[in-house]
Amino acid sequence: MNSFCNFSEEVFKKYWPIILIFCIWFIFSSPYFINNKIPFASSYQVNFFSPWSAYPQFAGPVKNNAMPDVIGQIYPWKHFTIQTFKAGQISLWNPYSFSGTPHLANYQSAVFSPFNLLFFLLPFVDAWSIAILLQPLLAGIFMYLLMKTLSVNKIGALISSIAFMFCGFITTWMAYGTLGYAVLFLPLMLYAVEMFFKTNNRKFLFILSISIPLSFFSGHFQISLYVFSTLIAYIVYKYFSTKNKRSVLTVLLYTFFGLLISLVQILPSIELYSQTLRSSIFQKGEVIPWGYLSTLISPDFLGNPVTRNDWFGHYAEWNAYIGLIPLTLAFYAFTSKKDTRTFFF
């Protein structure tokens, strides 16, 4: 009994930040685990959608006008993807949209996401719930691994993890189950690169090669492209900070392997997008305005669709909030430390 208690105490001392991250995540996810509530924006009435939305007599209140794509696109696409897989086929074509549309090439359908395996192990609503709720947990764990690899103490690593797992971006896009997964693998990629430079262990290169397609298969090319660009920038930074050309070339090679795996999704999507109307339109209005920086301090500075007082732009598009404490600490680090690593981040 004493040996078990000693072992438990040692495990807690070593891994208490991970345990705390899990506890915070469980509290956040308790409406599902305890109250059987599903993280799905199902409170829309048909009057919000066409053709009823075109008629003023059908007007009515909307609880949150920022989530219709989950109901009209993401959820039906996921259901179609899984049903097609269960029928022993790959969902290349969706016959239910218009007269038929490409499905696999539709990037946000996330046909190749490995998290689709959950739908073969659990009932659909439970698999959907777990897939949605796993995003902040994985984000927190991956960020903690990165921070510890960068020699940040446990408190600092814990603050970074919580700030990332519940930042404005992941929180506002969580219900989609696409953008969150696209971005949360970034700290895992950087962790793999950093650990390879420290240990020269090729297992971390394997982690790198796998984490790249995991991001690209998540269902949002734009965010995955940002993530990949950040990874390349970090590798370039490691070259100038270490001058280890051999290790940098090795990392780039395994990065290329990861990108090759991702092409199974990227190439069909590029072919499809080149044939769409949007490919010929330059959307200057979609460039993020400087005014959105105000959400770094106050996430609801421009309003909130739930309280129906949003007055500028799209809430999920401009929410840059990471928390006042992390923002203050980041500003302090940038102004007090002059090392290149702090400047990079």
Is 213 within 8 Å of 113 (Cβ atoms)? no
Tens digits of residue pLDDT in 144-201: 999 999 989 999 999 999 999 999 999 989 999 999 999 999 999 999 999 999 999 9
Residue range(s) defining the domain that contains residue 265: 2-280
From residue 320, give the alpha-carbon distance in Å to each of 47, 230, 232. Answer: 31, 17, 23
Residue 289 lies in a domain: no
Residue 191 lies in a domain: yes
pTM: 0.90
pLDDT of residue 251: 96
Residue among 161, 258, 242, 164 at smallest CA distance from 207: 258
Tens digits of residue pLDDT in 13-50: 778 899 999 999 999 999 999 999 999 877 776 777 77
Residue 163 lies in a domain: yes
What number of other Cβ atoms are within 10 A of residue 192's Cβ?
Answer: 28
pLDDT of residue 302: 78
Residue 270 lies in a domain: yes
Hey, which residues does 94 pair with through a beta bridge?
101
Tens digits of residue pLDDT in 44-92: 767 777 777 777 766 666 666 667 788 889 999 999 999 999 999 999 9
Separation between Cα atoms, residue 16 and residue 40, nearest integer Å: 31
Averaged confidence pLDDT in the chain: 87
Q: Is the dihedral of CA 256, 217, 226, 164 positive or negative?
A: negative
Residue 12 lies in a domain: yes
Distance between first and last Cα of the chain? 46
Tally the domains of the chain.
1
Residue 325 lies in a domain: no
Count how many Cα atoms sit within 13 Å of the Cα of residue 345 in the half-sphere of its side chain: 20
Separation between Cα atoms, residue 23 and residue 141, nearest integer Å: 12
pLDDT of residue 4: 58
* H helix runs in 34-98, sequence order: 68-69, 75-86
Residue among 26, 321, 326, 10 at smallest CA distance from 155: 326
pLDDT of residue 334: 81
pLDDT of residue 162: 95
Separation between Cα atoms, residue 71 and residue 143, nearest integer Å: 30
pLDDT of residue 6: 63
pLDDT of residue 321: 85
Is 136 within 8 Å of 28 (Cβ atoms)? yes
Kindly state the percentage of the chain with pLDDT values over 70.
90
Res. 122: pLDDT tops 70: yes
Residue 214 lies in a domain: yes
Residue 93 lies in a domain: yes
Tens digits of residue pLDDT in 279-292: 555 555 556 677 77
Higher-scoring residue by pLDDT: 242, 8:
242
49 secondary structure, DSSP code: S
Q: Are strands 93-94 and 101-102 parallel, antiparallel or unpaired?
A: antiparallel
Q: What is the dihedral of CA 248, 238, 186, 313, to 10 degrees?
A: -130
> Tokens in use for 80?
């179609």
Greatest mean pLDDT range, 56-70, 227-241, 326-340:
227-241
> Tokens in use for 265?
């999704």
Separation between Cα atoms, residue 268 and residue 265, nearest integer Å: 6
Residue among 174, 147, 143 at smallest CA distance from 161: 143
Determine the 3-state secondary structure of 102 from DSSP.
Answer: strand
Is 205 within 8 Å of 192 (Cβ atoms)? yes
pLDDT of residue 276: 78
pLDDT of residue 54: 76
- Which residue do the tokens 């959400």 mark? 295
pLDDT of residue 156: 92
Separation between Cα atoms, residue 186 and residue 310, nearest integer Å: 31
> Tokens in use for 154?
């446990």
